[in-house]
Each structure stands twice: as C-alpha cells, then as structure tokens.
C-alpha cells in the first residue's frame, strides 16, 4: 500500500465509525478529535478495525500516534507497505 | 408417561472460541462483536429470557412492565448504532420532563447542561463562573485519574454547605448507579457528564422490542444462543482457560467472557485456587453495590394518566442522605411514567417506582413477614403516588413488587446487586486475563461501567481484549471488512 492507500483506508474506517461527519475535508495535521466528534470508544473502534482487516495490533502506548491523520499515516504505512488495498 | 426434559444444549458444538456467560447488555454486546470479528461464540444464559436486568415482564390485562428503562445518556445512540444496528439506534427518543419534588425544592428540568446551568443560577443563586467550572471539572474526569477526591469533596469545594444543590446534583445519580457522596468523585463526574451532555433518553418500543432485535442480530451474526443454560464451572489448567460446564455438560473453549457478577466469576465459577494469593486478597476488598426494590403499577385498559413527567425524583426526607435512600423505611422514590409513546399503538400506561435497597433487609425476613412487607411496599407506594396522580387506586388494576431477593433470583448476582461493584472492582475485572489466560469479565462493575451505556460499552472494551487474545492464538485470521 502506498501512503495514499493508507490514508484511504483510514478515511474508510472513519466513515464507518462517524457516518454523520464530513470526513472529506479532514486536515492531516490537526487532531482528528478537534475536527470530528470522536470519543475514546471511537478510537478503540479504529484499533479493532485495523486488527480485523489487517491483523495489525496497535498497543495502547501507541494510541497517541493515531491522534492526527498524518500521525496515522506515518505510523501505519510501514506496517501496511506489503499489503494490497482490498477492492 | 413422564415428559423427557428438554435438552437446551442440543446440537451444541464440542468447542468454541469464546463462551459468553450471561446475556446482560455487556454479554450480548461482546458476543455480537466477537461473532462479527469471526469467532465462534456460544452465549449461555440461565434464564429463559435474555437481557439480564434490561428486561420486562407481561401480566394479565395486557400489561408490560419495564425494569430498567427509566433512562440512559444519549451516548447510547452511538453505541447502539456502532455495535448493533442503525435501526435499533434510531428508536432512541428523549425524555424531556424530569421532575424533582422534595422538601427543599420542586422543579422540572430537561436534565441537560443548559437547563441545569439555568436552574443552578436562577433557582439556587450560584454564580455562573462556579457552575461552568463545576461542569468542566466533572467533564474532565477520567477513569485513570488519581481517585483521592470523593464526590462529597467535590460538592464541598464548589457548593459548600449547599445541601439543596447537592441533592439536585446527586439524587438522580444515586438512583442511576447506587453511588454515594463517599465514592470517588470521578465516578460521579463521568456518569453525571454523560447525562448532562444532552439529557435522558429511552427506547421506543420498550425493552422487549430492544432485546428481540438484539437477539435477531446475534443470530444473524452466527452467535449460538442458549437460554435455560446455567454455566456451573469454568475449567482452568496451567493458568489457562480450557472450557466450561453447562447444565452438567463439558464444552471446550479458548476463552470465557463472563457477564456473571465479578465475584461469582472468580470465587465460584473459576475457584480462588487458580489465582495468585495477592490477587485474591484484593478481590476480598471488593464491595458489592446496593440492590433495588420496585413497584410495578399497570393502568387499566382505557384509563389514562395525565402528563405529570417522565421521571419523578420524589422524596419526603429533609435532605439528601444515602442511608435514608437505602433504608427499608422508604422516604425517597423514583417514579417512571411510561406513556403510550413508549410503545406506540398500544395506548397503554404503566408506572414503576424504584428505590435503592439492601439485600440483608429483605433476606432475613420470614416468609410471612416478607409477604407482608412486600404488600406494605405496594400500598405505601400507591399512597405516595396519589399526590401526583389523584385517584391512582382507581386507575390501577395490577400492582406487584420486586425486592433484592427477586433481582438475585433472576440474575444470580450476589445480594441482588443492581449495579455490580464499587469502584475497586473495575481494576480486578481488568486484571483477570493477567491472572488466567483467556478469562475475561464484562458487566456492571466499578460504578462507571454500569447502567445500560456503561455495561454495553464495557462489553465492547472487553470484546476488544478477547479478540486480541484469540488472534494471538490464530494469527492468520483476517476478517473481510463488514
Ligand atoms: C431496578 C433497576 C433499575 C435500573 N434502571 C436503569 C436505567 O434506567 N438506566 C440504565 O442505564 N440502567 C439501569 N439499571 C442498571 C442496568 O440495568 C444494568 O447496569 C445493566 O443492565 C447491567 O448489564 P450487565 O451486562 O452488567 O448484566 P446483567 O444485566 O446483570 O446480566 C447478567 C446476566 O448474566 C446471567 N448469568 C449470571 N450468572 C450466570 C451463569 N452462571 N450462567 C448463565 N447465566 C448467568 C444473568 O442471568 C443475567 O442475564 C437498573 C438496574 C436495576 C436493577
């Protein structure tokens, strides 16, 4: 997966978790929490989805990397680089 | 000819990834999630109905009584949508008229931050800055915070000596989760803020509708549901879960997620000998939360009840006092008024009165005394209700009471605890898998993880842990996106 693919994956997951939010205009460097209505259960959902879809385990100490889109992408890209984006 | 007893385990598999013990909201939510994640799940419930405390019963005359549908925070909408279905979540509606009536004040509120701010200013004369800071302090409390401050300290800090304000802020929460002024302030802050966010909500269609829909969803996702199935034992070897015994039959499993009471799970189902002695020492310190009494009043077909409020916190006690609230000499009651909107199309009304109660007060009575006290409870409740619904005795054609003994019988919870354990139970619950591989607990615990929202969300949190555990055993499992 490329950086762009990883970003798509995350947007895809966010769209499931927060269907009422406009995720198309997310700014990569601002905290996700400050842009869309996400609580700690929603972050847990992101972690569960990543495990379910790609078998990636994000340990609790690394949750902070998921705070922004840029953080998600740079944390997840190395873990997903050998994977295909599911069609 | 004697009838062959029904085999409730007929067709059961010899092994599962997870056995979920109990179908309360935590048990059902975790079973649903684990099945969606691709695991083989058995959900075993000893009762004939699912739902645990989230339950209802029917009586002659077309009465349907809800047990724990008085109200929950709006966060439940999101929880139902994410972990159940859009359709289920869309049935959540707001209860807009919450009433207080006691010797210190009588007022109506929509039970949200805006209205509470207004009332605290206009009615109780509190300065805006103090109110704002109080709300902020409550909102920012986290369950991993240091828990030195009690709710009493919190109130003393913001509203010194103002027992009327304390009552306004505390009485509903005491009913919602059994907490007192002496519990950690963060337990108050989290639950209070959840409600204040947008107010109190309920489920249109009633508890029966909700649980029926949840059952369909569980079946759709492949959960093997078994009612009338008592889990008697959790088998552990080498600090690892091996299986369970249900109705005398052994079933293997890689993990157990127990929605049975925390202490029952450790002491009875598993057995203390499987845990570290230091852990058991901590377990012994866990206090159970209180239980409840309720009086269910069914309104005759064709009769109506004027709109006197959705929830009414009524009390004749001078001040808010936990001991009085728990006392068998009832001075405080919460009335829930169920109007036809709750079950559209039925045109029926019911009223449920709830009080917090202690198991010991009811368990020690002789059978005849127990009957008499239950009868008195019903009659005193009708008397108290007369003030709000004149002529109530003429409108009612079914009255029935439940006590802590009733709750114990149906949920098996020790002392009939309505809201699990006090705060210290949460740590023990979270620590179980560190003691025994594959053993998890989800359900009312630690005050904050109780109530419909708390229990369901805790089910999700623990399902996440269970999924993590199971995937370590089976690294190849990848589930296609839903
Ligand atoms: C009177 C009353 C009023 C309430 N009102 C409200 C309210 O208005 N709003 C709100 O949000 N909350 C309310 N609550 C609290 C709320 O109902 C509970 O916190 C919540 O439903 C608990 O869910 P749970 O998952 O912890 O499990 P429970 O509902 O306690 O269910 C546990 C289940 O496990 C089963 N079980 C236990 N042991 C075994 C075994 N060995 N084998 C098989 N099955 C077993 C039991 O039968 C039960 O079905 C109320 C509670 C009470 C008692």
CA distances to B135, B159, B377 from B125, in Å: 16, 11, 37
Q: Which atom of ligand 1 is nearest to the CA of B269?
A: 41
Is the pLDDT at A86 greater than 90? The verdict is no
Is the pLDDT at B48 greater than 90? The verdict is yes
Average pLDDT, chain B: 95
Return the residue of B nearest to A47 by Cα. Answer: B464
Report pLDDT for B4: 76
In this structure, the residue with its CA closest to atom 50 of ligand 1 is B68
> Which value does ipTM take for this structure?
0.91
Give the helix/strand (H/E) hosting B433. helix B424-435
Report pLDDT for B38: 95
Which A residues, 42 through 71, put their C-beta within 8 Å of a C-beta on chain B? 44-45, 47-49, 51-55, 57
* Nearest-CA distance A71 → chain B (Å): 22
B282-308 pLDDT per residue, tens: 999 999 999 999 999 999 999 999 999
* Nearest-CA distance A52 → chain B (Å): 5
Asked whether the beta carbons of residue A52 and residue B78 sit closer than 8 angstroms, the reply is no
Report pLDDT for B316: 94
Residue B80: strand, helix, or coil: helix
> Are B65 and B352 spatial neighbours (Cβ–Cβ below 8 Å)?
yes
Q: Which residues of B touch A57 (CB under 8 A)?
A: 468, 471
A65 burial class (0-12, 13-18, 19+ CB within 10 angstroms)? Answer: middle
Report pLDDT for B135: 97
* Nearest-CA distance B54 → chain A (Å): 22
Query: What would the mean pLDDT of B118-141 be, rounded to a whole number?
Result: 96
Asked whether the beta carbons of residue A52 and residue B38 sit closer than 8 angstroms, the reply is yes
Cα separation, B233 vs B56, whole angstroms = 28
Asked whether the beta carbons of residue B471 and residue A41 sit closer than 8 angstroms, the reply is no
Report pLDDT for B479: 65
CA distances to B153, B156, B170 from B160, in Å: 9, 4, 14
Please tell me which of the candidates A44, A49, A52 has its beta carbon nearest to residue B461: A44
> Are B235 and B243 spatial neighbours (Cβ–Cβ below 8 Å)?
yes
Report pLDDT for B471: 94
Query: What would the mean pLDDT of B402-407 be, rounded to a whole number?
Result: 97
Q: Which residues of A touch B38 (CB under 8 A)?
A: 52
Query: What would the mean pLDDT of B433-455 be, rounded to a whole number?
Result: 97
Report pLDDT for B482: 41
Is the pLDDT at B475 greater than 80? The verdict is no
CA distances to A67, A80, B108 from A55, in Å: 20, 10, 51
For a substitution probing ligand 1, which of B21, B24, B73, B337 has the most ligand atoms within 8 Å of its CB?
Answer: B24
Residue the block writes with tokens 């064709």 = B302
Ligand 1 proximal residues by C-beta, below 6 Å: B 21-27, 44-47, 52-54, 67-68, 70-72, 230-231, 259-260, 292, 294, 354, 407, 411-413, 418-419, 443-444, 450-453, 455
Q: Which atom of ligand 1 is nearest to the CA of B291?
A: 53
* Nearest-CA distance B460 → chain A (Å): 8
* Nearest-CA distance B245 → chain A (Å): 30
In this structure, the residue with its CA closest to atom 36 of ligand 1 is B22
In this structure, the residue with its CA closest to atom 27 of ligand 1 is B24
Say how many Å lie between the CA of residue A16 and the centre of ligand 1.
29
> Are A50 and A56 spatial neighbours (Cβ–Cβ below 8 Å)?
yes
Task: Record the tokens describing residue A10, joined without a space.
Answer: 């995350």
Spatial neighbors of A59 by CB under 8 A, at least 6 apart, are none
Asked whether the beta carbons of residue B467 and residue A55 sit closer than 8 angstroms, the reply is no
Report the range of poorest mean pLDDT among A62-76, B239-253, B271-285. A62-76
Asked whether the beta carbons of residue B478 and residue A52 sit closer than 8 angstroms, the reply is yes
Is the pLDDT at B206 greater than 80? The verdict is yes
Return the residue of A nearest to B469 by Cα. Answer: A57
Task: Record the tokens describing residue B253, joined without a space.
Answer: 């499993």
Report pLDDT for B323: 85
Query: What would the mean pLDDT of B348-366 be, rounded to a whole number?
Result: 96
A47-60 pLDDT per residue, tens: 999 999 998 999 98
Q: How confident is the model at residue B481 (pLDDT cuts 50, 70, 90)?
A: very low
| DSSP state at residue B250 | E
How are beta strands B106-109 and B98-101 bridged, if at all? Answer: antiparallel
Say how many Å lie between the CA of residue B53 and the centre of ligand 1.
3
Quick one: how far is CA A16 from the chain centroid? Answer: 11
- DSSP E strands in B110-248: the ranges are 200-203, 224-226, 231-237, 240-246
Cα separation, B434 vs B477, whole angstroms = 23
Is the pLDDT at B1 greater than 60? The verdict is no
**C-alpha angle with apex B47: B45 to B51, nearest 5 degrees?**
70
Percent of chain B clearing pLDDT 90 (strictly above): 93
Cα separation, A53 vs B479, whole angstroms = 6
Query: What would the mean pLDDT of B256-275 be, rounded to a whole number?
Result: 98
Report pLDDT for B474: 82
Cα separation, B477 vs B472, whole angstroms = 9
């Amino acid at each position: 997966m490329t950086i762009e693919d990883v970003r798509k994956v995350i947007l895809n997951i966010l769209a499931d978790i927060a269907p009422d939010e406009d995720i198309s205009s997310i700014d990569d460097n601002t905290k996700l929490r400050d842009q869309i209505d996400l609580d700690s259960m929603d972050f847990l959902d992101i972690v569960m989805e990543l495990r379910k879809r790609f078998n990636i385990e994000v340990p609790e100490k690394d949750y902070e990397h998921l705070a922004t889109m840029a953080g998600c992408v740079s944390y997840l890209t190395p873990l997903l680089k050998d994977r295909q984006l599911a069609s | 000819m004697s009838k062959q007893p029904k085999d409730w385990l007929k067709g059961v598999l010899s092994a599962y990834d997870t056995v979920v013990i109990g179908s309360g909201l935590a048990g059902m939510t975790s079973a649903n999630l684990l099945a969606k994640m691709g695991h083989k799940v058995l959900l075993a419930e000893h009762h004939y109905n699912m739902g645990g405390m989230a339950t209802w019963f029917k009586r002659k005359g077309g009465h349907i009584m809800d047990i724990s549908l008085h109200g929950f925070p709006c966060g439940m909408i999101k929880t139902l949508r994410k972990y159940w279905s859009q359709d289920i979540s869309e049935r959540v509606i707001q209860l807009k008229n919450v009433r207080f009536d006691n010797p210190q004040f009588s007022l109506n509120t929509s039970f949200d931050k805006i209205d509470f701010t207004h009332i605290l200013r206009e009615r109780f004369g509190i300065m805006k800055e103090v109110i704002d800071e109080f709300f902020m302090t409550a909102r920012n409390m986290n369950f991993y915070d240091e828990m030195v401050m009690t709710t009493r300290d919190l109130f003393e800090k913001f509203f010194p000596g103002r027992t009327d304000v304390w009552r306004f802020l505390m009485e509903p929460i005491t009913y919602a989760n059994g907490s007192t002024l002496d519990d950690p302030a963060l337990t108050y802050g989290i639950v209070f803020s959840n409600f204040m966010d947008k107010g109190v909500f309920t489920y249109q269609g009633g508890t029966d509708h909700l649980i029926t829909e949840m059952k369909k969803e569980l079946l759709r996702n492949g959960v093997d549901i078994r009612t009338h199935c008592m889990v008697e034992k959790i088998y552990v070897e080498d600090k690892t879960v091996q299986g369970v015994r249900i109705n005398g039959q052994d079933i293997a499993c890689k993990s157990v997620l127990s929605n049975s009471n925390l202490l029952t799970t450790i002491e009875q189902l598993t057995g203390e000998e499987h845990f570290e002695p230091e852990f058991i020492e901590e377990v012994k310190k866990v206090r159970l939360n209180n239980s409840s009494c309720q009086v269910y009043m069914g309104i005759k077909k064709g009769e109506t009840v004027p709109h006197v409020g959705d929830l009414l916190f009524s009390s004749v006690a001078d001040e808010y006092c936990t001991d009085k609230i728990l006392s068998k000499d009832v001075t405080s009651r919460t009335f829930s008024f169920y109007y036809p909107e709750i079950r559209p199309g039925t045109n029926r009304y019911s009223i449920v009165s709830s009080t917090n109660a202690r198991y010991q007060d009811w368990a020690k009575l002789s059978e005849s005394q127990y009957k008499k006290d239950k009868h008195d409870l019903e009659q005193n409740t009708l008397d108290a209700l007369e003030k709000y619904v004149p002529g109530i005795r003429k409108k009612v054609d079914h009255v029935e009471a439940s006590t802590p003994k009733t709750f114990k019988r149906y949920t098996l919870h020790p002392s009939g605890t309505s809201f699990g354990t006090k705060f210290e139970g949460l740590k023990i619950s979270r620590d179980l898998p560190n003691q025994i591989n594959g053993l998890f607990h989800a359900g009312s615990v630690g005050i904050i993880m109780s109530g419909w929202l708390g229990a369901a969300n805790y089910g999700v949190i623990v399902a996440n842990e269970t999924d993590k555990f199971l995937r370590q055993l089976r690294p190849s499992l990848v589930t296609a996106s839903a």
